[in-house]
Structure 1
Amino acid sequence: MRLATTLSVLVLGAGGVGHAVVTSLDGGIGRVDPFRDMKNRPQGSRGTNILLVGTDGRDKITSEEKRKYRLGGAPCHCTDTIMMVHVSAERDRVSVVSLPRDSYAEVPEHTDEAGQHHVKHPVKLNAAYAEGGPALSVRTIENATGLKIDHYLEVDFTSFMKTVDVVGGVQICTARPLKDSFTGLDLTAGTHQLNGGEALQYVRSRHTDGSADLGRMQRQQRFLAALIAKATSNGVLLNPVKFREVASSLLSSVRADEGFGVEEMLNFASAMKGFSPSSSDFTTVPLGQLNIQVKGVGSTVKWDDAKAKKLFQLLRDDKPLAPHAPPPKAAPKDAKPPRKNPGSIVEVDPARIKVQVYNGTRTDGLGQRVDDALQATGFKTTGSPRPSANLAMRRTLIEYDPRWDRSAGSLAIALPGSELRPVKGLGAMMKVTAGADFKDVVPVRAEEQPQGDFGTVTGDKVVCP
């Protein structure tokens, strides 16, 4: 969640607005010293590693907003969002790895500010901040990942909400309804324009389904991709007045190490003029065991050590976490414009949905046309449509086994206006009977398209079509 705030500084600064517009903003950044007295640190990476942590600070949020967006509880002053952000040496790519806050970790031996000595002991990852602030968080995460952290950035609820509002809101798509009584989130399936408070609900929600923190981290990543898309497409970068307004909101509640100010952010940004959602990739550290009970700590999640080590080695070597599409080549003048709509987002990947098509009319070739169109958008059709016993179908019919209702719902989005009819015992194969109302198949795509060994997604794959 808080990564959206800070990474946007880099993206916004790429507009070439000029140092004079933002230099004065440096004084608004709170300063911390997370690297004090650190010894025996990991070897540096090619590129830059930024530790992003988000706290639940809400001091500047109004009472009305706290009631509306369910922010009335007392802040725990803990890090409920932890991300490792790697900016490539060429400044042409950003990789974001979410670290679950309940990850099993071990804080190193240390002496706290009161002078009390602590031996090495197990904790949940987010507890390192509560115990020893930014410095202990950095040491704990460096030990866990083997990565040297170059910069530290910490953001709270307040600047997050302001940032979303000042860019005019962010568009989010969901293939399923999302409702969380704890945060007040209530979204129907489809596309939504979220303001700052609503976006905060979206990225904070943990109780929309059984995925808990893992689902929340995926939503945070999708939100960030959407914010990048908005910031790079609506003129913010080229408007000095708007830029200053956005930058002021971004930095108003940020804390950073002394070496990372506005000037340094602009140095990053100056080399990122071509940055877009496709320039970013997102993943979560690979997990091995869930709900591991640790005495005195509680329920934790443990990383898959082998896969996590491989992931962090890729960051250290400055390599992408997933294949990136090459930059588009210049099209000939007489070429047709590319298709702008990559497809409506559906909950189940069409490639996992089996379909048998029937022609329910007397129109020759209709069954084959429907089969070809469904296959073209990714559905796994049989390729051999059959005539229906009823050739007087006015409305296209989808018959499905209730056990595959999510697949049926995804298929129905591709066939707007069709009737959904559950049939117990039908099995995994969907049955589509084309009626006289059939016009065309709407292109669809899966909600996410993980790639590589780590379930990585690039930003352009998770924004709204």
Structure 2
Amino acid sequence: MRRHLSPEEAAEQRRRARARREAASRQVPEGRPAPAPRQTPDPSGQPRHAAGPAAGQNPPNPNRTYGRFDPGPGRGAAYGAGAAGAAGAAAGSPAGVPRETPRGAPAGSGGSAGPRYQPTQQPERFDDGYHSERPRRASRHAPPQNPVVQRPQRGRRPAPRPAARTAPRRKRRFGFFRILALLLVVILTAGVLTTLWADSKLQHVDALSDYPGKPGGTPGTVTLVVGTDSRAGLTEEEQAQLATGSEQDAGGDRTDTMMLVYKPADGGKPMIISIPRDLLVDIPEYGEYKINAAYSLGGPKMLVQTLETETGIRIDHYAEIGFGGFAGIVDAVGGIEMCLDEPIDDPDAGINLGAGCQTLAGPQALGFVRTRHGFAQQDLDRVQNQRKFLSALMSEVTKPSTLLNPFRVSRLVSDGAATIRVDEKDHIWDLGMMMWSIRSEPVTATVPFDGMADGAVGSYLVWGDTTNAFFDNLRRGATPPADLYEMPPA
């Protein structure tokens, strides 16, 4: 009857079978010498475990074979356990199959005089001298090696890393504001260049020079605007188109329009004051004449001196324009819209206008400000149309649609500024400030007079106490009361 093995015996048999299989797989081919066993030297110079196990280590098991199996002749005792190893070799055990010491036999018995292999307490790499381990080539598709992260020791806080210096973040610049700034620079530059160009086109004349008895400064700003019947620069065809006639027929230059643009110092509304052409005055060195004769006798300088002497106010700026320049300015801005209460038909002025609102071109506008034969009071009614038209013209010239239009500005400079005469000390910006002040609803007035009379110069308007009271307000820098200039003419 077969006896069952105990668990310990079964484990022992499995261990022996495993040892035999390992020994059989490690047999060295014939003709090749077996390599010598590797021993790790001890720092003391003695074989390991020669003096017994070190403190804290387990003693080696005498019943187990350690290390590699060497099938060389006469070396079985070195890997066996004393007499058990020699007995296994003498009993004719197969080569390479070790015989273990019987259980219970004393370690080291067997009488073998050869050195005993002392195993180490660390695992050793197997090397039979034939199958040497070669470094493997890294695969192309090998996964990337994760970097080793050094963790700080427990109980110690890692030292703070210095903050990396970062470049200062630049503020975002919006393209819209950059383009807007560029446009403003371009507009300002173009405006300055255009202003200088227009100023160079102005014609200068000595009109405001000093003379004995010249009045002192008047509070506010006073500009004398004169419209003459000069045909300078007009061809015969243009004179016929504008119905101006020739200079031989006119008998020299005359001032059909005379206005004072007054800007009070107290910030009140500006005024456009028309001077009637038939007002009797005392012209220096010539005596009593109608006011429009002063220009014919001595030019702009004589006209300014006569007005300053009679009124007691000082004129600060002077501007003069002829027929051709006036029509050119009107055409440069695209015409002026005017609303007429009654139709006007004047062949001498070259116009035939119906009642109602309409846009007047250059030739029509010139005839509108010149006509007087169709009115009951003739020149007194004409100056009202002149003031109305001048205010509308200045409003159109100063509009952004005109100033920001390069084509209109170019025509204004070439057709308008080139035909305007100013004083030697005046510039284009002086005219610009004057036009800007009367662009919207200024106060309009006509110089009052005290009746009409006849004399050596024909029918004229009398300069009287009402006229002096009107200019007394201007000399003080005040706006004249309405009851002075709204009086019906005598």
TM-score, structure 1 length as denominator? 0.59
- Structure 1 residues 178-213: Cα deviation after superposition (integer angstroms, max 9, x where no partner): 111211221121112100000000000011122211
CA contact (8 A) 2:223 2:260 kept: yes
Structure 1 residues 273 and 92 mapped into 2: Cα distance closer, same or farther (>3 Å)?
A: farther
- The corresponding residue for 1:104 is 280
CA contact (8 A) 1:84 1:97 kept: yes
2:484, 2:426 → 1: CA distance?
Answer: 32
Report matched runs for 1:371-386 at 5 Å: none
CA contact (8 A) 1:31 1:258 kept: yes
2:370 aligns with one of 189, 193, 204: 204
* Residue 8 of structure 1: aligned partner: none
Residue of structure 2 in register with 1:455 after alignment: 486
Letter in structure 1 aligned against 2:455: V
* Structure 1 residues 31 and 273: CA distance shift in structure 2, 3 A: closer
Partner AA of 2:323 in structure 1: F
Q: Number of matched residues? A: 297
**Among residues 24, 28, 46, which one is paired with 2:219 in the alignment?**
46
The residue that corresponds to 2:68 in the other structure is none
Instruction: Say if 2:358 is the partner of 1:183.
Output: no
CA distance in 1, matches of 2:437, 2:302: 36
Residue 94, structure 1, aligned to residue 256, structure 2: no
Pick the aligned partner of 2:458 from 262, 280, 298: 298
1:19 to partner: Cα distance: 2.5
> Deviation per CA, 1:73-104, whole angstroms, max 9, x where unpaired?
32421212111121334777431111111210
Q: C-alpha separation between the residues in 2 aligned to 1:95 and 1:23?
A: 28
Aligned residue in 2 for 1:316: 475
2:262 is paired with a residue whose SS is strand
Tell me the equivalent position of 2:451.
289
2:231 is matched with: 58
What is the correspondence of 1:87-236 to structure 2 with a 5 Å cutoff?
Answer: 87-89=263-265, 93-109=269-285, 121-233=287-399, 235-236=401-402
Residues 222 and 263 (structure 1), Cα distance of their counterparts in 2 relative to 1, 3 Å cut: closer
Question: CA contact under 8 A between 1:174 and 1:191: conserved in structure 2?
Answer: yes
Query: In 1, distance between residues paired with 2:445 and 2:292?
Result: 19
Does the CA contact (< 8 Å) of 1:70 and 1:183 recur in 2?
Answer: yes
Structure 1: distance between partners of 2:303 and 2:395: 31
Kindly tell me: are residues 275 and 48 of structure 1, through their superposed partners in 2, closer, same or farther at Cα, counting changes over 3 Å? closer
Alpha carbons of structure 1 residues 93 and 240: separation in structure 2 relative to 1, 3 Å: farther
Aligned-residue Cα RMSD (Å) equals 2.6
Q: Structure 1: state its 5+ residue gaps.
A: 1-14, 110-119, 323-450, 457-465
Distance, in Å, in 1 between the alignment partners of 2:203 and 2:485 is: 35
Provide the secondary structure at the position in 1 that maps to 2:244: coil
Q: In structure 1, the residue corresponding to 2:224 is in which secondary structure? A: strand
Give, as a single letter, the amino acid of the residue that structure 2 aligns with 1:176.
Answer: E
Work out the CA distance in 1 between the residues paired with 2:364 and 2:431: 28
Partner of residue 111, structure 2:
none
Q: Is the 8 A contact 2:259 2:273 kept in 1?
A: yes
Aligned pairs for 1:296-445 (under 5 A) are 297-303=457-463, 305-321=464-480
1:300 Cα deviation after fit: 1.4
CA distance in 1, matches of 2:230, 2:280: 24
Give the Å deviation of 1:241.
Answer: 4.7
Q: Secondary structure at the match of 1:288?
A: coil
User: Residues 239 and 315 of structure 1: is their aligned pair in 2 closer, same or farther, counting only changes over 3 Å?
Assistant: farther
Equivalent of 2:204 in 17, 27, 31 = 31
Q: Measured at CA, do residues 209 and 275 of structure 1 come closer, stay the same or move farther in structure 2, by a change above 3 Å?
A: closer
Distance verdict in 2 for CA 1:253–1:232, change over 3 Å: closer
Question: 163-172 or 39-48, which moves further after superposition?
Answer: 39-48
- C-alpha contact 1:33 1:257 (8 A) present in aligned 2: yes
Shift of 1:453: 3.5
- Give CA deviations for 1:38-92 in whole Å, capped at 9, x if unaligned: 1211221111111222211123334333223322232421212111121334777
Any conservation in 1 of the 2:448–2:484 contact (CA below 8 Å)?
no
Q: Deviations over 1:417-451 (max 9, x none)?
A: xxxxxxxxxxxxxxxxxxxxxxxxxxxxxxxxxx5
User: What amino acid is the match of 1:246?
Assistant: L
Post-superposition shift, 1:321?
A: 4.6
Alignment-mate amino acid for residue 23 of structure 1: L
Is residue 21–residue 240 contact of structure 1 (8 Å, CA) maintained in 2?
Answer: no
Deviations along 1:221-254, one digit per CA (max 9) or x if unpaired, are 1111222333344611333553343244321111
**1:47, 1:230 → 2: CA distance?**
25
Contact kept, 8 Å, 1:92 with 1:275, in 2: the verdict is no
Structure 1 pair 102–222 and aligned structure 2 pair: CA distance change class (3 A): same
Q: Distance in 2 between matches of 1:130 and 1:149?
A: 19
* Alignment partners' CA distance in 2, 1:83 and 1:222: 12
Gaps of 5+ in 2: 1-186
- Alpha-carbon deviation of 1:452? 4.7
> Residue 208 of structure 2 contacts residue 318 of structure 2 at CA under 8 Å; is this kept in 1?
no
Larger Rg over CA atoms = 2
Question: Does the 8 Å CA contact 1:77/1:130 hold for their aligned counterparts?
Answer: yes
Could you tell me which of 259, 262, 266 is aligned with 2:428? 262
Partner AA of 1:60 in structure 2? G
Partner SS for 2:318: strand
| 1:239-298 Cα deviation digits (max 9, x unpaired) | 3553343244321111111110124445x37xx8686322x22111012222x2222x22
Which residue pairs with 1:69 in the alignment? Answer: 242
Partners of 2:473 and 2:403 lie apart in 1 by 31
Task: Say which structure, 1 or 2, has more relative contact order (CA 8 Å, 6+ apart).
Answer: 1
Q: Aligned partner of 1:255: which letter?
A: R
Instruction: Look up the SS of the partner of 2:461 in the other structure.
Output: strand
Whole-Å separation in 1 of the counterparts to 2:469 and 2:246: 39
Larger strand percent: 1
Q: Secondary structure at the match of 2:450?
A: strand
Matched to 2:288, the amino acid is: P
Change (3 A) 1:190 1:234: farther
Kindly indicate whether the alpha-carbon contact (under 8 Å) linking 1:180 and 1:186 is maintained by their aligned counterparts in 2. yes
Distance in 2, matches of 1:316 and 1:235, equals: 38
Name the aligned partner's letter for residue 287 of structure 1: F
